[in-house]
Amino acid sequence: MDAYGLTKAMKRAALDAIRASKPVEICFGKVTSASPLKILVDQKMTLGEAQLVLARNVTTFQTEVTVDWLTENRSGGSGDSSFASHNHPIKGRKKITVHNGLVVGDEVILFRQQGGQKYIVVDRIG
């Protein structure tokens, strides 16, 4: 075998190795159950929680935000002065909950990890 044939054989072997190792692949799925989480991928395979890794984009999580506003003027109660119209400043860092968990019917984009054992749910589609 000459140098050209050897180079060509090495390239072919490298490409075959990459294909055999199942590098990251983009997949699309639809949530069929939220609890326990199940996602139907490419309309043929259902993945369960053990096979899924969830990105923060598709979970309910807490985070902090910085706020600086006043509440609206409101009055009420018995007419007592303690119930007179008033507002309150709200400033600083406040903890909030972002309700972003997956629900039945959500269409998602997934990355299949190398080897195909785990799927990373990256985000919703649309």
pTM of the model: 0.67
**Tens of pLDDT, residues 6-55:** 788 888 887 777 666 667 789 999 999 999 999 999 888 999 999 999 99
Q: What is the pLDDT of residue 31?
A: 97
The residue ranges of every structural domain in the chain are 24-60+99-126, 67-93
Whole-number pLDDT of residue 78: 65
DSSP string, 50-116: GGEEE-GGGS-EEEEEEEEEEPPPB--TTS-GGGSSB--EEEEEEEEEE-----TT-EEEEEEPTTS
Is the predicted pLDDT of residue 115 greater than 80, yes or no?
A: no
pLDDT of residue 5: 78
Give the model's pLDDT for residue 13: 82
Predicted confidence at residue 3, as pLDDT, reads 76
111 pLDDT tier (thresholds 50, 70, 90): very high
Q: Over the stretch 63-103, which tens digit does the pLDDT of each residue have?
A: 999 999 888 877 666 667 767 777 888 899 999 999 999 99
CATH 2.40.50.140 applies to domain 24-60+99-126: yes
Instruction: Determine how many CB atoms are found less than 10 A away from the CB of residue 55.
Output: 14
pLDDT at 11: 84
pLDDT of residue 110: 94
